[in-house]
Amino acid sequence: MKTYVLLLLMAIMTVSASAQRGVRIGYVDMDYILQNVEEYQAANKQLADKVQKWKSEVEDQESTITKMRADLNAEKVLLTKELIQEREEEIDALESQMKDYQQDRFGPQGDLVRQRSQLVKPIQDQVFDAVQEIAANKKYDFVFDKSADVVMLYSDKRYDISEQILRSINVTRKKVDRQEKSSALKEFEEPDPELKAREEAYEQKKEDRAAEIEARREAKLKEIEARKKAYEERRQKMLEEREARKKAKLEEREQLKKENNNSNATENEEGE
């Protein structure tokens, strides 16, 4: 469709050129401009660092889930059916949370797409303003973006006005107080409230999840300690009962022995 539009424009220009003055055409290379805007490159590096941090967090979550599944498989023979189900539900909840996090960060409406748009838009606005000014002053009829989806099968370098756009942007930036950051970097470092709220909600969710896991761990430890205590109490009671029975048997034997000795002494006296 866009190729068709471009061809239609070319046809219109050809007709116009034959009917009146020659049509002036220009194009800009947005990728080239972005690569040569210092503030954009600085903000883009910050975004790359954020993306790396997000990827590391996803990898950590995946590693934790994998380890939890391996531990569960190794311990299944020692666990009751209820404990196995509880552990599986906990792992599934963590996995679901990880997928939600991936979607929030890297999905079509995620933070990466939003922040890239936030990063590029101020530069695009400056380019648009510069294009309007240059096109009006030099009487360009059409100015295309070489980096866009419009197919340019061939482009002569003499029609490239990217350097003019860059010079215009630099002049505009020099008019701004040198102590202030450019709008591209400033807006990028001050994210919108929705993004900030999402970051805070995720951190809160992590803290809540960690607190829940810690509470479960402490409850399990208390349960284990209670079982150990109950076992020790039963064991001590059994030992005491065993000792009591052993003592009773010894006393019974001593009593029988004493009775036998007395009986024998009586018989000897009678025989004399």
pLDDT at position 178: 47
Task: Please check the confidence at residue 2 and state whether its pLDDT lies above 70.
Answer: no
Lowest-confidence range among 33-42, 121-130, 131-140, 175-184?
175-184
Task: Please check the confidence at residue 16 and state whether its pLDDT lies above 70.
Answer: no
Cα separation, 73 vs 93, whole angstroms: 17
Give percent above pLDDT 90 in the chain: 5
**pLDDT confidence band for 169 (50 / 70 / 90):** confident
Contact (CB, 8 A) for 112 and 198: no
Over residues 88-96, the mean pLDDT reads 88
pLDDT at position 155: 64
pLDDT at position 62: 92
Length of the chain: 272
Give percent above pLDDT 70 in the chain: 69
For 189-244, write each residue's pLDDT tens digit: 555 676 667 667 767 776 776 677 677 667 766 766 776 777 778 878 888 888 88
- For 68-96, b/e burial (b = at least 16 CB within 10 A) is beeebeeeeeeeeeeeeeebeebbeebbe
pLDDT at position 179: 45
Highest mean pLDDT among 121-125, 152-156, 168-172, 228-232: 121-125
DSSP 222-256: HHHHHHHHHHHHHHHHHHHHHHHHHHHHHHHHHHH
**pLDDT confidence band for 177 (50 / 70 / 90):** very low
Cα separation, 106 vs 38, whole angstroms: 26
85 backbone φψ class: left, alpha, beta (φ>0; ψ -120 to 50): alpha
Q: Where are the domains of the chain?
A: 26-188, 192-256
pLDDT at position 1: 46
**Within 13 Å and on the Cβ side, how many CA atoms surround 35?**
7
pLDDT at position 52: 93
pLDDT at position 29: 84
pLDDT at position 5: 45
For 45-73, write each residue's pLDDT tens digit: 888 998 999 999 899 989 989 998 998 89
Task: Please check the confidence at residue 264 and state whether its pLDDT lies above 70.
Answer: no
CA angle, residues 206, 73, 216, in degrees to nearest 5: 35
Cα separation, 156 vs 27, whole angstroms: 10
